[in-house]
Amino acid sequence: MAWTYGLLDAMKDPRLQIHNDYDIVVIKDCYPKAEVHFLVLPWKNIPSIKDLTGSHLTIIKRMDLKAREIAREKGGGRKFKFGYHAEPSMKRLHMHVISDDFNSPALKTKKHWNSYTTNFFIPSEKVIKDLESIGRVNLPSTSQSSLYLKTPLKCHKCPYSPGNMPALKLHLAKHTE
């Protein structure tokens, strides 16, 4: 589907670019799921996390370093998560750099929530470790990934289990105060 290629246009848009060099680009996520949400992408045509091999370690490590540098520079002291979705919806490999407040009107669904707070979210450190040890990223199966997205809601900072998204959002506000 055409929309799955949307990041290929977005990454070339200077209005969205935070950083641009010979092999990577960092853009603002158009539908940020937290107060600060960037995407780090390689110019090289790597479609997804599933295509990664040991030969990509250099670029993956550069993406990791740049992500952390930008979070320090632009994050206003916020804490961040750095990683990839196990089953991405958009083409071109992209690392999420997302502040852990999850305070955003675009964060609406249980699926959104679980995609950042369960094992559906593959931390950048794990991607690097897997590529170094086995030459690919050890990912959950498609059926396990969809189970992760259906996990009952749970706060990522305390044991509270809200019954629905509005309750979760009210609760998250307490952690960001």
Residues that bind ligand AMP (CB under 6 A): 6-7, 10, 27, 29-31, 85, 88-90
Q: Does residue 160 interact with Zn ion by CB under 5 A?
A: yes
Which of Zn ion, ligand AMP, none lies near 90, with the C-beta cut-off 5 to 8 A by kind? Answer: ligand AMP
Q: Does residue 28 interact with Zn ion by CB under 5 A?
A: no
Token match 């950042």: residue? Answer: 116
CB atoms near residue 137 (< 10 Å)? 22
Q: How far is the CB of 76 from ligand AMP (least distance, A)?
A: 20
CB atoms near residue 95 (< 10 Å)? 25
Q: State which residue, 38 or 131, has the beta carbon closest to ligand AMP.
A: 38
Q: How far is the CB of 131 from ligand AMP (least distance, A)?
A: 19
Q: Does residue 158 interact with Zn ion by CB under 5 A?
A: yes
Whole-angstrom distance, CA of residue 136 vs CA of residue 152: 30
CA angle 15, 17, 23 (to 5 degrees): 145
For residue 169, give both structure tokens: 């959002």
Which of ligand AMP, Zn ion, none lies near 158, with the C-beta cut-off 5 to 8 A by kind? Answer: Zn ion
Q: State which residue, 61 or 171, has the beta carbon closest to Zn ion.
A: 171
Whole-angstrom distance, CA of residue 20 vs CA of residue 26: 6
φ, ψ at 159 (rounded to 5°) = -75, -5
Catalytic residue among 37, 56, 85, 94: 94
- Is 94 part of the annotated catalytic residue set? yes
Q: State which residue, 9 or 177, has the beta carbon closest to ligand AMP.
A: 9
The conformation of residue 98, written as its DSSP 8-state character, comes to E
φ, ψ at 116 (rounded to 5°) = -110, -15
Q: Does residue 155 interact with Zn ion by CB under 5 A?
A: yes
Which of ligand AMP, Zn ion, none lies near 6, with the C-beta cut-off 5 to 8 A by kind? Answer: ligand AMP
Whole-angstrom distance, CA of residue 99 vs CA of residue 137: 24
Active site residues: 94
Residues at the site binding Zn ion, with contacts judged by CB under 5 A: 155, 157-158, 160
